Amino acid sequence: MSTVATKTPLKGGEFLVKETAYEDIFTPEQWSEEQRMIAQTCHDFLAQEVWPIMDRLDNKEEGLMEKVLDKAAELGLLGLNIPEQYGGFEKDFLTGMLSTEAIGAGNSFAVSVAAHTGIGTLPILYYGNDAQKAKYLPKLATGEWKACYCLTEPGAGSDANSGKTKAVLSSDGKHYVINGQKMWITNSGFAHVFIVFAKIDDDKNLSAFIVEKDFGGVTLNPEEHKMGIKGSSTRQVFFNDCKVPVENLLSTRENGFKIAVNILNVGRIKLAAAALGGAKQIINHSVEYANQRVQFNHPIGTYGAIQHKMAEQAILAFACETALYRASQNIEDAINGLIEGGMAKDQAILKGVEQFAVEAAIMKVFGSEVLDFIADEGVQIYGGMGYSADAPMERAYRDSRINRIFEGTNEINRLLTVDMMIRRAMKGEIDLLGPATKIAGELMSIPDFGSPDTALFATEKKYIKNFKKAALMVAGSAVQKLMTNLSSEQEIVMNIADMLIDVYVGESLQLRVEKLVSVKGEEACALHLDMLRTWLADSAERIHKAGKDAICSFAEGDEQRIMLSGLKRFTKTDPYNTKNARRRIAAKMSAENKYCF
């Protein structure tokens, strides 16, 4: 397999067929002092202005969420990524990701902020003309105006381009008259600006419009009653002969679907950051409670069953953080490279994120499922109190669930991950065929039983290399066997996606730990090595299960037997005492009384 270490930046999706040197990835240990200060400002804001009033927010106290957003705006938290000329701070993509993580611990407040600063503002920032930016961005940066994003309709969710909302040019040519219905619109109860997607006349594709509530013809249903994120405003929005000036068409006609796709690429990786912030806060609560709660004369955190849960929470959060900021720096580097090549900054950001849309989809799935797992285990650590609304886990559990639906369901994102990889291979952007063909030949050869490499990380790197072979073998065979029918075999596609997720996160984790050891030494990083080795042991089992399910779905006879044998070879790992590793990880957190990695 072609896995030669490289100093040149990887393209999106190339992680599967190329190796990366640890020197070439960004890790959170590299945050600058300024970036750490911005994150701390976000944490302090939550502690002072959000957490003390979460019950009031969840009860939808009239005007309260808007007031908290205004306070956040006073600190500049709504304008971190908006250019200075429009009243923002123009921080880079990576810093924006860090602030998103920090605010992510803010439950429904975090959702309101994300809807305003992300999907509500970014379409104007990235696709607006100079006049549109000058008119709207300063007010959005200062929070004077709040924004929302109107894409989903009762009959158009994952299939967004099937929306029925219509826009018709008025007889005098000065307005588009919009009629239609949108649902699940976050911030709609108090938004001044609506990014609305509609089809002009009988167009095949959506167009996008900047709609001000004061244009008239905009009405709202009452607030939705939701399972979680109760403090965020969520309503249906109706457009009844809403007259929108022609100059408020965003970008060009029929470019709305592309806008929606690209904004969702940004939203997906940012959702992973927000989920990470929420996950870390839940772990802090879990550890504190495990230290305080005494049963059978001992804190419950001293018992193996609880230690296992705490350690698993930490391993998943650490792995998520690692992969998240590896991908974020890749995006940042791609953006900077495009700018240096002469591309306008706004377009470079979109293109840079688009290049790593595979990784964004992976992180959306992984981040949201990590948060859900950590919240569920948090409830269990709290026991009966976890089920009580008087303790923090009940809200965390309910609020976490939406993230597997937001920004495209996790099922859709799994399908997209594989589809994008295959499409890029078909276009010649990634060489998947060559490595997959070599692996097919390797299945018929005698395994290499040469002397093992005893160097530090040699074993872990071998595992990662073999995991990649497993994913390539299954994906390559599925494509060859099923051809155009693969897209209809969604179970197989999701099996492959799960393998890709484990590969990407596992490699990211190995690179971060190797980088840490290179700086601090092996002894100082003993617990990080525990996390890496525990992850790899468990990952091997997951990859084997997903691969086996896929192979048994499309292969038979000798072909199936050979592939299953290869899969077993590629997912073989040496025995490792994960129980003791988890106990060591949990003991460290108990001593620190928090998530400390």
Active site residues per annotation: 407
**Are residues 367 and 320 in contact, defined by beta-carbon separation less than 8 angstroms?**
yes
CA-closest candidate to residue 366, choices 536, 511, 544, 497: 497
The Cα–Cα gap between 528 and 314 comes to: 10
State the Cα–Cα distance between residues 197 and 280, nearest whole angstrom. Answer: 35
**What distance in Å separates the CA atoms of residue 559 and residue 482, rounded to the nearest whole number?**
14
Distance CA 227, CA 148 (A): 21
Contacts of 391 (CB under 8 A, 6+ apart): 382, 385
Question: Using N-to-C axis directions, what is the helix angle for 578-592 and 256-292, rounded to 10°?
Answer: 80
Crossing angle of helices 256-292 and 304-340, rounded to 10°: 150
Give the residue among 483, 470, 478 at the shortest CA–CA distance from 570.
470
CB-CB contact of 364 with 272 (8 Å): yes
Q: Which residue has the tokens 């400002």?
A: 41
Contacts of 139 (CB under 8 A, 6+ apart): 145, 192
- Largest Cα separation within the chain, whole Å, is 81
Q: How far is CA 157 from the centre of its chain?
A: 19
**If you count them, how many residues does the chain have?**
597
User: CA-to-CA distance for 121 and 78, rounded, in angstroms?
Assistant: 10
